[in-house]
Structure 1
Amino acid sequence: MTAGYDVAVVGAGIVGLAHALAARRRGKSVIVLERDAQPLGASIRNFGFVTVTGQQAGACWHHARRARDIWAEVAEAAGIEVLQRGLVVAARRPEAEAVVDAFLATDMGAECRRLTRAEALEMNPALTPSGVTAALFSPHELRVESRTALPALIAWLRDGLGVDFRFSCAVNRVAAPQVETTLEVIHAETVIVCPGDDGTTLFAGRIAAREVSRCKLHMLRLRPGASLPLTTPVMSDLGLARYHGYADLPEAAALKARLDREQPAQRANGVHLICVQSADGSLVVGDSHHYGDEVTPFQPAHVDRLILDEFDAVLACPDYRIEERWLGTYAVSPQGWTFTDAPDDATRIVMVTAGCGASTAFSIGEQTLAELYGTKAA
């Protein structure tokens, strides 16, 4: 059997879904092909934290701004609850405060502001007084629950916008206008391959030319022993030395040097703190970063402890238990944080090769469709 569409999207992670949305908004008929029974990759393993502030200056930051606006539209339309808004980055060292001040002086610091310790504690009482000397506040972020947001987004695209989906449907070969799958042959005017961190199934040679490998990260869900209202997501000094929007500033060099001396294990394991809160009061906390072509299934306890040490230093939550542990994974490349490749005029490969897929995908999808079909939407 052969089915015909304007656009076939391979992959039902957030990058694939973003392209499906952008295509439907142009009036295109769309099918999404996903090899698993449901999305199981980076898109549901992450924080659900749509981050603008701290993204790399330039295209990444601009994509994040636009994607955040689309997330707000989609969340309302799809019935996805926005659980938190904004961001507090708690500075614990003078060197971290200097990075905050330098960031606020950039164009990316617009609408953000510096908080005193008292202001930070008033805004977010979950912070511990010893874990903050000053803070950066950003109003730009929003946070959803990835595990439920992705299924809700799929349901809305299917039932509300008419996108067709085939799950448990592996794609064996793309030769536009034909897409050969394990279920059927799809005919599509345009094929957009969004493989997540899979660099071996489709177009392996083209992906290998981008030096794509993988990053593995540790995630935890904590249950506070008592109510702990976390009014915004929280980050800390380690994030100021890692997120490119801060870490690429000249002022970050002194902070990195001090962290290398004082927290060498965290730095060696790529640990920084992100803490967000779910509707049931639990906290999603992470993460670490380990790189290589192979992502092992093992989660060493000492790395979790490094993450929790930073959590304990910044947040006043002395009595908690660990409810869940899991591994995240995403694609990385030394050649840049994203790429779009064109094997032919009708085919695109789109990968986000950094940990910002959820924060940028909706805007990347718009860009891809504009390049394929023109800048004016239908």
Structure 2
Amino acid sequence: MRIAEGRDRPMKSYDVAIVGAGILGLAHAYAAARRGQRVVVLERDAQANGASIRNFGFVTVTGQEAGDCWEMARRARRVWGELCAQARIPILQEGLVVAARLEESLPVLDAFLAGPMGEGCRRIGHAEAAAMIPALRPEAVRAALFSPHEVRVESREAIPRLAAFLAERLGVDFKWRTAVQAVETGRLWTSAGEIAAARIVVCPGDDFSSLFADRLQAYNLTRCKLHMLRLEPQRPVRFQTALMSDQGLGRYLGYADLPEATPLKARLDREFAALRANGVHLIVTQSADGSLVVGDSHHYAPTPDPFAPEAVDRLILDEFEAVLDLEGWSVRERWVGTYASAKDSWRLTDRPMDGVRIVIVTAGCGASTAFGIGEETIAALLD
């Protein structure tokens, strides 16, 4: 498909063009630039504004689905460690505590620790967990899982810093506020004119209609909307690690797919039906200013509505209060995010034509896996 507008403008040429400046697009740009490629990133907005900045900034390895999702997360975690140092992105927290207050959660912890994905993790009690998260309620911790693998960054700051690093240190060319109208082998037609690129990677996030809509329709994609909150504690509190609760054991597939999780999920369905119906599971991370990022929920629709019912936030906060004992707090911010979702796959890579790939993470784990996926895609295109 050719677009007449812009044909009279000079055509720039690159080795690799990336469509989309979210974390997945930036990961592909980084993988290509490290291999000496001349790279351009095209983004229709003035800055990344979607799922990549509307999340916890929590790079999660432990609990990811067994198989290549977990493997990609392990590789991405190593790259994050390298990049945070080079791009001066502060790591605000390291590690994860999963607090288990239900009896049925304990066999899940033990089974996970006994498997290969439990490497480096260990079971701890309330005293050790509270040394890392002093606000933990004693009754909320029959036992806990500690993982050393996770890191947490501030997404709204980390993504711009990563883009700046790619531009300044690796020579990646960014074209902001540039809409890509059509793609074919070796060419992109954009609102800023025609661009030549030997290889093209399209990372559209949850936009399934702007490019290759016919190809994407076959994947039965939908969107997931989630609620997030930022809480301001009345008194200073320190979270050395990120925190999850039993709800995460029933949702994250690295735990929930274990046979030992069946009784736990049955109890969660019975006793926490509203949380399960709204896809609520607790994650708490802490920002540099001491505020707490808390979430989240999951609602699915082809076009999610933009509204954030207070009742859903209340479910999240009820779980927060069941696990943590703070003297007081207030809500400083609320927001919603959306991301691409698919029932039977956590990611997709489609080859619509020679030299072109469409890459989408469809399980809300883009920040945790993007750098592994980027390396895989670029290696396949170049090698």
- TM-score, normalised relative to structure 2: 0.97
Structure 1 position 172 matched with structure 2 position 181: yes
1:153-187: CA deviation from partner (whole Å, max 9, x where unpaired) = 00000001100000110100001211001111110
Aligned residues: 374
For the residue of structure 1 that corresponds to 2:340, the secondary structure is strand
Structure 1 position 22 matched with structure 2 position 21: no
- For residue 129 of structure 1, what is the amino acid of its counterpart? P
Partner of 2:14: 5
Percent of pairs with identical residues: 61
Structure 1 position 144 matched with structure 2 position 168: no
Distance 2:46 2:327 in 1: 39
Structure 1 position 292 matched with structure 2 position 304: no
- Calculate the aligned-residue CA RMSD, in Å: 0.7
For the residue of structure 2 that corresponds to 1:260, the secondary structure is helix
Structure 1 position 153 matched with structure 2 position 162: yes
For the residue of structure 2 that corresponds to 1:94, the secondary structure is coil
Contact 1:211–1:335 (8 Å) recurs in 2: no
Structure 1 position 360 matched with structure 2 position 374: no
Partner of 1:220: 229
From 326, 329, 335, the counterpart of 1:320: 329
Partner of 1:57: 66
From 29, 49, 53, the counterpart of 1:44: 53
Distance 1:104 1:144 in 2: 26
Shift of 1:135: 0.1
Distance 1:334 1:275 in 2: 26
Distance 1:317 1:331 in 2: 35
Contact 1:158–1:164 (8 Å) recurs in 2: yes
1:273-330: CA deviation from partner (whole Å, max 9, x where unpaired) = 0000000000000000000101211000000000000000111224000000000111
For the residue of structure 1 that corresponds to 2:345, the secondary structure is coil
Distance 2:206 2:294 in 1: 22
1:133-158: CA deviation from partner (whole Å, max 9, x where unpaired) = 11000000000000000000000000
Distance 2:247 2:344 in 1: 24
Shift of 1:100: 0.6
Farther off after superposition, 87-96 or 126-135: 126-135
1:60-89: CA deviation from partner (whole Å, max 9, x where unpaired) = 000000000000000100000000000000
For the residue of structure 1 that corresponds to 2:52, the secondary structure is helix
Contact 2:242–2:286 (8 Å) recurs in 1: yes
For the residue of structure 1 that corresponds to 2:316, the secondary structure is helix
- For residue 69 of structure 2, what is the amino acid of its counterpart? C
Distance 2:71 2:214 in 1: 30
Distance 2:138 2:132 in 1: 12
TM superposition outliers: structure 1 runs of 4+ over 2 Å: none
* Gaps in structure 1 of 5+ consecutive residues: none
Shift of 1:118: 2.0
Partner of 1:276: 285
For the residue of structure 1 that corresponds to 2:343, the secondary structure is coil
Partner of 2:265: 256
For the residue of structure 2 that corresponds to 1:44, the secondary structure is coil
Shift of 1:119: 1.9
Partner of 1:337: 346
For the residue of structure 2 that corresponds to 1:43, the secondary structure is coil
Distance 1:15 1:136 in 2: 29
Partner of 1:104: 113
Question: Where does 1:234-249 land on structure 2 (aligned, <5 Å)?
Answer: 234-249=243-258
From 123, 138, 142, the counterpart of 1:133: 142
Shift of 1:335: 3.0
